[in-house]
């Protein structure tokens, strides 16, 4: 694999940290800005909204630029956005800064996926995407815990300054390692790209991503209360258990990429089926501490094993310049799935079904994704990439 892929991994690491580290700093942010924890929680929703809106819009606006220039511009936005978060005098400023930072997220992963596949041979495209997304998994395992500790020791603003520094380093690495490519000499026909993205196969691919990943966040959003109230772990045990989840993320991510290179169609269906089974098993297995830890690891593995195949699944349904837009839309679809999953888990709890039913509701989502993906199969579709 070329070194340029690891430059994309560095950018993905920084973006992953800034997306998820806020979850561990809600208490510090709410106390410092004199807002409730629930209000601080909307900073997560605001970021997700920025990803959903920013992904297609920035991809269209930057369509004439070279892809390397786009990636560098996005890392500049990311770095400035995190610095603005660190200097935020109040909740409103912080929300705007979070949304600004999120604008870079979807387009970076969308354009980055296209760049990653262009750097390797046909039989390694999904693995290339998986390597880029490894930055996201490492961010969850190392970056988020370190950023949380930093914020707790030196204040939450110190964390955002540190992430801004990571963005600056990633900018330099991308500028150094990613090869130059020419931008378009003529203004791109963004309407044609939008039409290509709105074709039935692409729409069904995006819906597969939404439903598939909604299952992951239906459970993961409430993983701490599930472990403490259902499995009867102490609060202090949650963080070590989440390291098991992080280990599963890395294994699943790389495994999903390798399997998708061999047979994309089977991998899409196989990983979604595995995710659904793991989620249903959690409803029973969380009664046992040993099984609960094992299932948390399997959740990470099965959940992230779907990422590279689903990204490649959408790209395989798109042709030409429209791939960058479709790829960015799919990153937005992952985030939409996150939001739907978090809402669904809360709805299950609020309507009296209780925490123990959350994994059951979660397991339904990837099952629906399988049915949507089945609608996307034509006669003798090529199943390898």
Helix or strand holding residue 235 (H, E): none
What gap in Å lies between CA 6 and CA 138, rounded to an integer? 12
- Give how many domains the chain has, as a whole number: 2
Crossing angle of the two packed helices 307-316 and 289-305, in degrees rounded to 10: 20
Nearest to 229 by CA among 185, 190, 286: 286
- Confidence at residue 1, expressed as pLDDT on a 0 to 100 scale: 65
Report yes or no on 384 lying in a domain: no
Q: CATH code at 58?
A: 1.20.1250.20
Report yes or no on 385 lying in a domain: no
Q: How far is CA 245 from CA 150, 221, 253, 272, 310, in A?
A: 22, 13, 12, 18, 20
Q: Which residues span the domain enclosing 271?
A: 187-379
What gap in Å lies between CA 276 and CA 273, rounded to an integer? 5
Question: Is 224 in the same domain as 332?
Answer: yes
Q: Of 180, 211, 226, which residue sits at a domain end?
A: 180
Determine contact, residues 71/4, Cβ cutoff 8 Å. no
Question: Is 132 in the same domain as 71?
Answer: yes
Question: Is 273 in the same domain as 197?
Answer: yes
What DSSP string describes 50-113? HHHHHHHHHHHHTTTS-HHHHHHHHHHHHHHHHHHHHT--SHHHHHHHHHHHHHHHHHHHHHHH
Report yes or no on 191 lying in a domain: yes
Question: Is 84 in the same domain as 167?
Answer: yes
pLDDT in single tens digits along all 385 residues of the chain: 677 788 888 888 888 888 777 766 777 888 888 887 667 767 877 787 788 887 777 777 776 778 788 888 888 998 999 999 999 999 999 999 988 888 888 788 778 877 887 777 777 777 787 778 777 777 877 777 788 788 878 888 999 999 999 889 888 888 888 887 765 545 556 666 667 667 777 888 888 888 988 888 788 777 777 888 888 888 777 777 877 887 888 888 888 888 888 888 888 899 899 999 999 999 898 888 899 899 988 998 888 888 888 877 777 777 655 666 777 777 778 878 877 887 788 778 777 777 888 899 999 999 999 998 888 775 444 444 4
Determine contact, residues 33/48, Cβ cutoff 8 Å. no
What gap in Å lies between CA 92 and CA 98, rounded to an integer? 10
Q: What is the DSSP letter of 180?
A: P
Q: Of 136, 159, 180, which residue sits at a domain end?
A: 180
**Taking the complete model, does pTM exceed 0.85, yes or no?**
no
Question: Is 252 in the same domain as 134?
Answer: no
Question: Is 94 in the same domain as 192?
Answer: no
**Cβ contacts of 208 within 8 Å, gap of 6 or more:** 268, 272, 310, 313, 369, 372, 373, 376
Report yes or no on 50 lying in a domain: yes
Report yes or no on 373 lying in a domain: yes
Question: Is 92 in the same domain as 170?
Answer: yes
What gap in Å lies between CA 275 and CA 211, rounded to an integer? 12
Question: Is 133 in the same domain as 227?
Answer: no
Q: In the numeric block, which tokens belong to residue 297?
A: 């690891």
Residue 116 exposure: Cα atoms within 13 Å on the Cβ side: 31
Report yes or no on 83 lying in a domain: yes
Question: Is 213 in the same domain as 74?
Answer: no
Question: Is 164 in the same domain as 264?
Answer: no
What gap in Å lies between CA 368 and CA 48, rounded to an integer? 23
- Confidence at residue 381, expressed as pLDDT on a 0 to 100 scale: 43
Question: Is 333 in the same domain as 361?
Answer: yes
Question: Is 294 in the same domain as 311?
Answer: yes
What gap in Å lies between CA 104 and CA 161, rounded to an integer? 17
Q: Of 143, 165, 180, which residue sits at a domain end?
A: 180
Geometric angle at alpha carbon 213, from 275 and 178, rounded to 5°: 110
Sole residue written with tokens 């709105």: 198
């Amino acid at each position: 694999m070329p070194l340029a892929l690891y430059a994309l991994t560095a950018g993905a690491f920084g973006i992953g940290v800034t997306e998820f580290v806020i979850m561990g700093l809600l208490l510090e942010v709410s106390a410092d800005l004199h807002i409730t924890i629930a209000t601080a929680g909307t900073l997560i929703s605001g970021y997700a909204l920025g990803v959903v809106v920013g992904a297609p819009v920035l991809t269209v606006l930057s369509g004439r630029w070279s892809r390397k220039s786009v990636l560098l511009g996005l890392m500049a936005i990311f770095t400035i956005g995190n610095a603005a978060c660190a200097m935020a005098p109040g909740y409103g400023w912080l929300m705007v800064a979070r949304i600004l930072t999120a604008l870079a997220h979807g387009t970076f992963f969308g354009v980055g996926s296209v760049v990653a596949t262009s750097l390797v041979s046909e039989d390694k495209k999904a693995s290339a995407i998986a390597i880029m997304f490894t930055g996201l998994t490492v961010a969850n395992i190392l970056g988020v815990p370190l950023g949380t500790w930093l914020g707790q020791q030196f204040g939450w603003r110190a964390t955002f300054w540190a992430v801004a520094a990571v963005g600056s380093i990633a900018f330099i690495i991308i500028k150094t390692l990613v090869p130059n490519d020419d931008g378009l000499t003529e203004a791109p026909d963004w309407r044609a790209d939008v039409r290509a993205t709105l074709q039935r196969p692409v729409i069904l691919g995006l819906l597969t991503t939404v439903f598939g990943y909604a299952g992951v966040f239906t459970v993961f959003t409430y993983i701490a209360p599930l472990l403490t109230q259902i499995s009867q772990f102490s609060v202090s045990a949650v963080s070590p258990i989440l390291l098991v989840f992080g280990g599963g993320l890395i294994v699943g991510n790389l495994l999903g990429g390798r399997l998708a290179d061999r047979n994309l169609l089977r991998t899409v269906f196989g990983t979604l089926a595995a995710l659904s089974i793991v989620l249903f098993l959690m409803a029973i297995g969380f009664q046992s501490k040993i099984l609960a830890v094992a299932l948390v690891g399997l959740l990470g593995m099965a959940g992230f094993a779907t990422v590279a195949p689903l990204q490649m699944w959408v790209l395989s349904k798109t042709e030409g310049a429209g791939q960058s837009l479709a790829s960015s839309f799919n990153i937005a679809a992952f985030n939409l799935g996150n939001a739907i999953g978090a809402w669904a888990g809360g709805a299950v709890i609020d309507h009296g079904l209780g925490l123990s039913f959350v994994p059951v509701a979660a397991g339904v989502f990837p099952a629906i994704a399988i049915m949507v993906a089945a609608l996307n199969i034509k006669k003798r579709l090529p199943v390898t990439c």
